[in-house]
Chain A
């Protein structure tokens, strides 16, 4: 797409209540959901995603248990969503088609269905069902930095053939440079008839910049979270993105000051920790590790006495994919044994 073409204003999807769930260890309450959804609706944000961080049905030992059953959070969101669209995230292998039906019953209008960037064919049935249920479907190709653009195109075409309305370049590890983002979005834009979207993380401080690159390359759907609340060092901050787009003359239909206010007054006070690019967050982006591993890695580091970066570097070397949180403990245990730090506290019985 030539840089002289007028840029189409993208549709913003705020995922504070889904990606942000990772940063909250999935402890969102219905009251928080109501306050955040109402604030976003009032600001004019057109699509609002609510789910466990790992999608519908994600509450588990592996990813962390939700404080409150998902249905209650969806009900709270449905109460306040007015004319805006409720979106849900769905990862086949974690959630099933039953969860999609449940979400539709709560009025979810957009199903964002995710696979690892090379495995699109596991979601054919789920895309099909979502369409049958009358939902718009967005296909997420996760950890898109791990494969060249041609592979992304092959998988994006599969999702298009199953009925997806949009395919997202998903930078789950926040590992992409602006060049990486540009070439992937361009490749999809050239190959697909449907829309192309972008989900960026901030691990390399490139959340907003990568999103702008994607828009300039033809992305018409973009993600953000309030205060950047999200996995790893966080997401593209919605309030910052909206402010920058406004300065660039791109009309998203979203009120900048109202978005600033819901971020500062509703979200910032409930954040358990600030979304900063510390050594751990930077390591996720640098070694290409799925962002949601952050808090689990802190816990494993604490329990087994192994440095956070050592764990993340090894996970990157092993090319671990999203969903493999159990590998964090596996790696921490191996490193602890190698470093002579065995057994950990609480483990009384050991092999001889």
Chain B
């Protein structure tokens, strides 16, 4: 079966975990790992696996992209803003794992398949990937007047990218709750906890709904959770949705798959799992378009 060639820019924790997942993909073939730090473990691992690498960044990659059509950007918001126009000019599809928010938001169980002609799509944030599905699940039953999420992650799983982008995380995630979750207003909070052993990523979702239909909302949330579990097996509710007047509370916990990152780094795992899912949809779409072209001849 043909695969679509892809590349990763950003050889840090997220990029390296993404690489491990892509190697299992039936639709994507990783041909290039692009970084800027010659000492990075991600580049070393890629070399061991026989994947082309460069530590000269996007310049070297674009000189000879080795057939890559889809590019995953796991760098930073600032870097992606530089990369995006260049990738578009090169005719490549960019899947953005930073909070740069240049392209349309994609959260797989909510709108996968809607933006398959886009040149750039954004994965919101780890908190967004974990909570937008829940808000959407509630909103499809009854309107959510206000959605608020609190993402709590282990200090060890928050790298320099997260720490320098705290505001962007909260603002981009809040926008995701509204644009994709359907809430009329949104707010996002992030808390870092240094406890040892490191805590699993947790997300609390609050939704303000007038006179909520408890049974219908609970069933809707449960169905959505199952759809997320298809690509993030470690995603689960800690207890059933809680009802208190017009306030609905949902506690979500994410255990990572442990591909490269430790299992407590569920926040990073949900990003890479979602990225692969999105990448595969783009790949299938590209292949089917070509299939049609072949058939038409």
Contact = CB atoms under 8 A, between A and B. Distances in A.
Given A60-B189, A119-B155, A329-B249, A96 B171 contact: yes
Contacts of A348: 214-215, 243
Contacts of B171: 96
A92 B242 contact: no
B243 A60 contact: no
Interface string A33-67: 00000000000000000000000000011100000
A80 B131 CA distance: 43
Contacts of A329: 242, 249
A114 to B, nearest CB: 12
Contacts of B214: 347-349
B194 A122 contact: no
Interface stretch (B47-55, B89-97, B162-170): B162-170
A334 B247 CA distance: 19
B190 interface: yes
A230 to B, nearest CB: 21
A265 interface: no
B242 A125 contact: no
A152 B227 CA distance: 44
B194 A347 contact: no
Nearest to A121: B163
Contacts of B247: 61
B215 A125 contact: no
B192 A93 contact: yes
B295 interface: no
Nearest to B206: A61
The prevalent SS among residues of A at the interface is loop
Q: Which of A94, A326, A346, A350 has the most CB of B within 10 A?
A: A326
Contacts of B238: 330
B259 interface: no
A347 B164 contact: no
A61 B144 CA distance: 14
Interface in A320-336: 320-324, 326-327, 329-330, 333-334
B122 interface: no
Given A93-B170, A97-B167, A351-B240, A122 B192 contact: yes
Contacts of A131: none
A11 B74 CA distance: 47
Size class of the contact patch on chain B? 35 or more
Nearest to B149: A62
B194 A116 contact: yes
The residue in A61, A93, A321, A337 that gathers the most chain B C-beta atoms within 10 A of its C-beta is A61
Given A62-B206, A347-B214, A349-B214, A92 B251 contact: no
A265 to B, nearest CB: 37
A118 interface: yes
Interface string A304-333: 000000000000001111111011011001
A93 B193 CA distance: 12
A321 B155 CA distance: 11
Contact of B163 (A122, A319, A351): A122
A303 interface: yes
Contacts of A122: 163, 166, 192
B264 to A, nearest CB: 14
B129 interface: no
Interface in A140-161: none
Interface string B169-202: 0110000000000000001011111110000000
Nearest to B247: A61
B148 A118 contact: no
Contacts of B160: 121
Given A93-B191, A347-B214, A326 B150 contact: yes
A43 B164 CA distance: 41
Max count, chain A CB within 10 A of own CB: residue among B150, B160, B189, B192? B189
A279 to B, nearest CB: 25
Contact of A323 (B163, B167, B191, B218): B191
A319 to B, nearest CB: 4
Contacts of A94: 189
Interface in A94-152: 94, 96-98, 116, 118-119, 121-122, 124-125
A347 B242 contact: yes
Nearest to A146: B194
A321 B158 CA distance: 16
A124 B164 contact: yes
Contacts of A318: 195
Nearest to A349: B214
A96 B167 CA distance: 5
B193 A324 contact: yes
A351 B215 CA distance: 10
A205 to B, nearest CB: 28
A349 B164 contact: no
A154 to B, nearest CB: 13
A300 B126 CA distance: 28
B64 interface: no
A13 B265 CA distance: 40
Contact of A333 (B152, B218, B242): B242
Interface of B: 148, 150, 152, 155, 160, 163-164, 166-167, 170-171, 187, 189-195, 204, 206, 208, 214-215, 218, 238-240, 242-245, 247, 249, 251
Given A61-B208, A324-B150, 11 more contacts: A92-B167, A94-B189, A96-B167, A321-B194, A326-B152, A326-B249, A326-B251, A330-B238, A334-B239, A346-B244, A348-B215
Interface of A: 60-62, 92-94, 96-98, 116, 118-119, 121-122, 124-125, 303, 318-324, 326-327, 329-330, 333-334, 337, 346-351
Nearest 5 A/B pairs, CB to CB:
A349-B214, A326-B204, A61-B206, A319-B195, A323-B191
12 contacts: A93-B170, A93-B191, A94-B189, A118-B155, A121-B163, A125-B167, A318-B195, A322-B191, A323-B189, A330-B239, A346-B245, A350-B240
